[in-house]
Amino acid sequence: METEILTIFNEQQKPIGTATREETHRLGHWHETFHCWFVAKENGQDMLYLQLRSPMKKDYPNLLDITAAGHLLATESIEDGVREIQEETGIAVAFEDLHPLGVIPYSMKKPDMMDNELAHVFVYHTEHNLSDFHVQPEEVAGMYKVAFKDFAELWRDHVDSIPNQGFVLTENGEHQLVHQHLSRIDFVPHPIDYYEDVIRGIEAIL
């Protein structure tokens, strides 16, 4: 995975060449990613699906994240990003069924990584329920859902925690149901601005 070749960009979002994924993160090159948030209507309420990152992940293991997301390789178009959805969730989605929220640039820095992303962000209105997700264990440890209004309240700092329901994968691949309350520390620490942009974008299309 670290040897994957990515297109890299300057601050003006113009392509300037290619680099390996390892080089891209070590040197802080801007690069493209694909993000897809699943929303569903249940009993008149808008719900948001979140993936639980696998404990085997190098970065941010065991934290909640975008329903499906990943890097776009140098050989891929934005439309090719739908492969991430099927790989991580087991659900096939046509690119034409996605609602674009545009490109959201943001940076996440750790001692060993500078992650400067040009995130192509999309929303997918789904009729699937939790039992329909067949997640990729190497990437995803489970799938949760929360009320979208609760998610928005959490990231707007109006509440400290929100309820959820979901499942985690057991060692034999079965779904073990979970119910708990989530706070911000349970999520991948994307910048607050990113979460706020996503929330506003989803609100505009609901």
Rg (CA), the chain: 17
Instruction: Please give the backbone phi and psi of residue 186, each rounded to the nearest 5 degrees, phi first.
Output: -85, -5
* pTM listed for this prediction: 0.96
What are the tens digits of pLDDT across the range 120-156? Answer: 999 999 999 999 999 999 999 999 999 999 999 999 9
Query: What is residue 187's DSSP assignment?
Result: B
Beta bridge partners of 162: 182
pLDDT at 112: 86
What are the tens digits of pLDDT across the range 21-35? Answer: 999 999 999 999 999
What are the tens digits of pLDDT across the range 45-100? Answer: 999 999 999 999 989 999 999 999 999 999 999 999 999 999 999 999 999 999 99
pLDDT at 203: 98
Residue 111: pLDDT band with limits 50, 70, 90 = confident
Q: Where are the alpha helices (DSSP H) in 47-174?
A: 82-89, 148-155
pLDDT at 1: 73
Run of H or E including 8: strand 5-9
Burial of residue 12, with CB atoms counted within 10 A of its CB: 0-12 exposed, 13-18 middle, 19 or more buried: exposed
Written as one string, the DSSP assignment of 17-84 is: EEEEHHHHHHHT-EEEEEEEEEEEEETTEEEEEEEEEPTT-SSSTT-EE-SEEEEPPTT--GGGGHHH
| C-beta of residue 32 within 8 angstroms of C-beta of residue 195 | no
pLDDT at 14: 96
Distance CA 161, CA 151 (A): 9
Query: What is residue 178's DSSP assignment?
Result: E
In order of their start, the domains of the chain are 5-205 (3.90.79.10)
